[in-house]
Amino acid sequence: MSKVFLCKADELAPGEMKRVPNEEVGDICVYNLEGTFYATADLCTHATASLAEGDIDDDLITCPVHWGQFHIPSGKAVTFPCERDLRTYRVELEGDEVYADLSAEAEEAASDDSSPI
Ligand code: FES
């Protein structure tokens, strides 16, 4: 298991996100949705854009470049022009620190049948 530190839990208020550089897998975006933390790849699968610079709308992240959207918990691409799903990472809380397990997808993504929405 390859676990990386993402942020302190109190660093992100609900509805906020941030980009965390990672040399192994590329930048990661960590989100706080109503007090639950999620992590996905930060790079939009449509072109070159940082999702951390986009907008959160409920449990969707909107890309800042062409406004495609992904479902944050599962990484599913839900709005054109995004068609390829985002990589997700299982998030673990240890005290007040948020970590991503780079060897595991988020449970919602892992248990999904990966069919497009
Ligand atoms: S780069 Fe994200 S929707 Fe085009």
What is the tens place of the pLDDT at every residue in 13-34?
999 999 999 999 999 999 999 9
Give, for all 117 residues of the chain, the pLDDT tens digit. 589 999 999 999 999 999 999 999 999 999 999 999 999 999 999 999 999 999 999 999 999 999 999 999 999 999 999 999 999 999 999 999 999 999 988 887 665 554 444
Burial class (CB in 10 A: 0-12, 13-18, 19+), 60: middle
**Model-level pTM?**
0.91
Q: Is 49 in the pocket of ligand 1 (CB under 6 A)?
A: yes
Ligand 1: residue whose CA is nearest its atom 1: 47
Q: Ligand 1 mean position to 110 CA, how many Å? A: 24
State which CATH number among 3.40.50.2300, 1.20.1050.10, 3.30.70.2190, 2.102.10.10 fits the domain covering 3-110.
2.102.10.10
Percent of the residues in the chain that have a pLDDT greater than 90, as a whole number: 85
